[in-house]
């Protein structure tokens, strides 16, 4: 069996599942929860970027350096929000996806978050 790290840092098995014969990447609750957290982060980042583009007023100081710094700050902010105070969109996605994978529901536990 070969395990490889994915983008979220969790490992996924690259051997076919015994029951389905397909490659299963999201067969663990941990992988699914991390994917939901990343989805939450991306969604919140897009929402924050849209709010920044609305520009309700002209900035007092405006430069490319400030824009770059603000983008990096926004990225860290949305990652922290997704981890500590999620909006719930990631949780809804993981709940929906876990319903389609009966092997995740056999343990009777719920997804963290």
SS3 at position 12: strand
pLDDT band at 85 (very low <50, low <70, confident <90, very high): confident
Segment 20-70, tens digit of pLDDT? 444 455 468 888 888 899 999 999 999 999 988 888 877 788 889 988 999
pTM: 0.60
φ, ψ for residue 105, nearest 5 deg: -85, -5
């Amino acid at each position: 069996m070969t395990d490889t790290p994915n983008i979220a840092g969790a490992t996924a098995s690259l051997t076919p599942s015994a029951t389905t014969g397909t490659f299963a990447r999201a067969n663990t609750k941990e992988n699914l929860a991390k994917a939901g957290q990343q989805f939450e982060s991306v969604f919140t980042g897009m929402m924050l970027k849209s709010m920044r583009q609305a520009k309700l007023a002209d900035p007092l100081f405006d430069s490319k350096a400030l824009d770059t710094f603000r983008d990096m700050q926004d990225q860290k902010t949305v990652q922290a929000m997704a981890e500590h105070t999620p909006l719930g969109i990631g949780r809804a996605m993981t709940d929906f996806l876990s319903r389609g994978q009966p092997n995740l529901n056999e343990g009777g536990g719920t997804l963290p978050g």
